[in-house]
């Protein structure tokens, strides 16, 4: 009989205690489904949970039966949650819309309604994400910060894009803060100063006028002028995002698979998380053969070995040996991952559930499998 590999109860503790759990990983490792399962596990514990995704594949909305074009989080119905074992908690989900998030940000932070309308009506607003590197990623950080601080939720689970893109999300607040440096923005504004900055402003104005025309440069100046009152609050929020993600209220999980490329991405991202001072909680090894629930040793079978049955068992024995080899390989990999994490982190394996999970029932099975130790025989 193969040994059973138990889940680490630390993941259940994180789900019960943390305010923010960020799920990161390469594409194709089941990260979105894992984020949904963690959210459902939190709802089963009686918590008010939001699963927030910026995954361009939009699989989370399909799996949870939600619209992909929502302007705000939507609740999974009580009836569907009851079928998934949720009796007291709640579960909301939102497919993040960067334009909606930034529009909400403008309306909250603009000094007046009139100034907010001026910003939102500018054609430059529609292209802001192209003008400012990291703006789309910043809106994800802003939504995470705002929703986790709103008092509406006990836990927000964030499903990030594939690992290398997720780094942009983590670094976006810093990029935005650097963009909002008044010394840089002042180069685009009419200057009353003397010396270098006055000459630099005049030079930038001359270049823009020649390349784009005077009307376009004037529009840029008017747009930045309208946003002027927002720069301070936006910087403060950027710092708040950073403080939240580095605090004890947050945890970062890396979802991976036995695929070598996915493992390489996970290890790279683990090192970047450590380098950025973010709280790394551990690995979740998905789509593996580590877990052995349901495996039965041939010797345990009580069969009347007639000739046809014995012949069939002999033929299946080769397939059983292949499966044993996969189990041994993936269990060794899980042990290796456990040896690679600090003492405060963990590495666990999700149960193998076959084909892609596309409904709430399957998400519930995964939630139980990763947040509760498997039953022993």
pLDDT, averaged across the chain: 77
User: What is the rounded distance in angstroms from the CA atom of residue 192 to the CA atom of residue 149?
Assistant: 40
At residue 28 the predicted structure's pLDDT band, cuts being 50, 70 and 90, is confident
CA angle 329, 333, 336 (to 5 degrees): 140
Residue 376 has pLDDT above 50, yes or no: no
DSSP, collapsed to helix, strand or coil, labels residue 375 as: coil
* 255-298 tens-digit pLDDT: 999 999 999 999 998 998 888 889 999 999 998 989 876 666 65
The dihedral formed by the CA atoms of 123, 126, 131 and 135, expressed in degrees to the nearest 10: 150
Check: CB of residue 134 under 8 Å from CB of residue 176.
yes
- CA-nearest of 241, 331, 291, 284 to 36 is 284
* 56-82 tens-digit pLDDT: 456 667 667 667 677 888 899 898 899
CA angle 226, 146, 160 (to 5 degrees): 105
Q: Which is higher by pLDDT, 42 or 95?
A: 42
Q: How far is CA 44 from the centre of its chain?
A: 20
What are the domain boundaries of the chain? Answer: 9-175+238-371
At the top level of CATH, which class does the domain 9-175+238-371 belong to?
A: alpha beta
Check: CB of residue 352 under 8 Å from CB of residue 362.
no
Check: CB of residue 35 under 8 Å from CB of residue 158.
yes
């Amino acid at each position: 009989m193969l040994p059973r590999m138990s889940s680490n109860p630390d993941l259940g503790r994180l789900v019960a205690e943390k305010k923010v759990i960020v799920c990161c990983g390469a594409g194709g490792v089941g990260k979105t489904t894992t984020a949904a399962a963690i959210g459902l596990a939190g709802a089963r514990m009686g918590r008010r949970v939001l699963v927030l995704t910026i995954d361009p594949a939009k699989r989370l909305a399909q799996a949870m039966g939600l619209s992909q074009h929502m302007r705000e989080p939507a609740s999974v119905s009580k009836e569907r949650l009851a079928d998934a074992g949720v009796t007291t908690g709640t579960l909301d989900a939102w497919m993040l819309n960067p334009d909606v998030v930034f529009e909400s940000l403008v309306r909250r932070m603009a000094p007046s309604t009139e100034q907010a309308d001026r910003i939102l009506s500018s054609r430059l607003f529609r292209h802001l994400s192209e003008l400012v590197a990291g703006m789309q990623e910043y809106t994800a950080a802003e939504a995470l910060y705002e929703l986790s601080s709103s008092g509406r939720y006990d836990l927000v689970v964030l499903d990030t894009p594939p690992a290398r893109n997720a780094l942009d999300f983590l670094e976006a607040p810093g990029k935005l803060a650097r963009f909002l440096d008044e010394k840089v923005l002042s180069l685009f504004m009419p200057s009353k100063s003397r010396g270098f900055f006055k000459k630099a402003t005049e030079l930038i104005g001359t270049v823009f006028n020649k390349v784009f025309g005077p009307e376009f440069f004037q529009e840029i100046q008017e747009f930045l002028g309208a946003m002027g009152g927002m720069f301070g609050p936006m910087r403060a929020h950027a710092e708040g995002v950073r403080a939240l993600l580095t605090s004890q209220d947050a945890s970062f999980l890396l979802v991976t698979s036995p695929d070598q490329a996915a493992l390489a991405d996970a290890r790279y991202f683990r090192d970047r998380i450590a380098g950025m001072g973010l709280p790394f909680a551990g690995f979740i090894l998905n789509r593996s053969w580590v877990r052995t629930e349901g495996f039965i040793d041939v010797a345990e079978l009580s069969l009347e070995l007639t000739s046809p049955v014995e012949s069939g068992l002999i033929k299946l024995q080769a397939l059983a040996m292949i499966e044993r080899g996969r189990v041994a390989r993936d269990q060794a990999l899980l042990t290796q991952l456990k040896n690679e994490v600090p003492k405060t982190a963990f590495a666990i394996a999700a149960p193998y559930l076959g084909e892609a999970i596309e409904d709430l029932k399957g998400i519930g099975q995964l939630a139980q499998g990763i947040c509760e130790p498997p039953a022993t025989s």
